[in-house]
Amino acid sequence: MNKLKDGMLLFHGSYTTVREIKLEKCSNAKDFGKGFYLLSSLAQARAFIHSSLRKALNAGDIAADQNHGYVSSFRYHEPADGIEVYEFPTTNRDWLWFVAQNRRERLAKQLRDKIDPQIFRAEITVGKVANDNTNATIAAYVGGLYGKIESEEAVNDAIKRLMPDKLEDQFCFLTERAISCLEFQEARKYVV
């Protein structure tokens, strides 16, 4: 697990370049909530271009023949007065419950009080990414296919299926103050 460090270079894969981050354009129901997501892995950011193109095409934001996307890179600068960061040490129960309650509103009421309250105070959340390869497992878990979602057996079964050692790190910037810690570096075009 990569910890967030001052000067760290982070990547965002998309159908378009992102120079200026606008939180109001960020989607709800994402792993760590509504925020701007970055990755420590350039390869993973490039892989996200595929799903971004698919979503943009379905939304009518791009032409059907667009065969490229971009990876925008940002340098993180920790503010002198610090910032509230929550880092999940691994894909544990709190990580799974936090992702589940962010993805499914009905679970938020059920799980929120069981999750470490420090997570909800964070301006930046860091943890493993639940990507396209893990969506089926997360959906099965929140759908109760592994048992009652609060049960240790269901949690352990879902985490084992997610193969956490193969998941990359993601960094979610949740507030304007957090966004102000990011300095745009460049955007590179990739044909998919």
DSSP, collapsed to helix, strand or coil, labels residue 135 as helix
Give the model confidence (pLDDT) of 147-156 as tens digits: 999 999 999 9
Per-residue pLDDT tens listing for the chain (192 residues): 689 999 999 999 999 999 999 999 998 878 899 999 999 999 999 999 999 999 999 999 999 999 999 999 999 999 999 999 999 998 899 999 999 898 888 887 888 888 999 999 999 999 998 766 788 898 899 889 999 999 999 999 999 888 877 788 999 999 999 999 999 999 999 999
Q: Is 127 inside a domain boundary?
A: yes
Range of the domain at 69: 9-191
Give the model confidence (pLDDT) of 4-48 as tens digits: 999 999 999 999 999 999 999 998 878 899 999 999 999 999 999
What's the token pair of residue 180? 């102000």
- The single residue listed with the structure tokens 């990011």 is 182
Q: How far is CA 102 from CA 21, 32, 86, 113, in A?
A: 21, 6, 15, 13
User: What's the whole-model pTM score?
Assistant: 0.92
Q: How far apart are CA 74 and CA 60, in angstroms?
A: 27
- The single residue listed with the structure tokens 């999940």 is 88
Q: How far apart are CA 128 and CA 42, in angstroms?
A: 15
Q: Is 146 inside a domain boundary?
A: yes
Looking at the 3D structure of the chain, how many domains does it have? 1
Q: Is 4 inside a domain boundary?
A: no
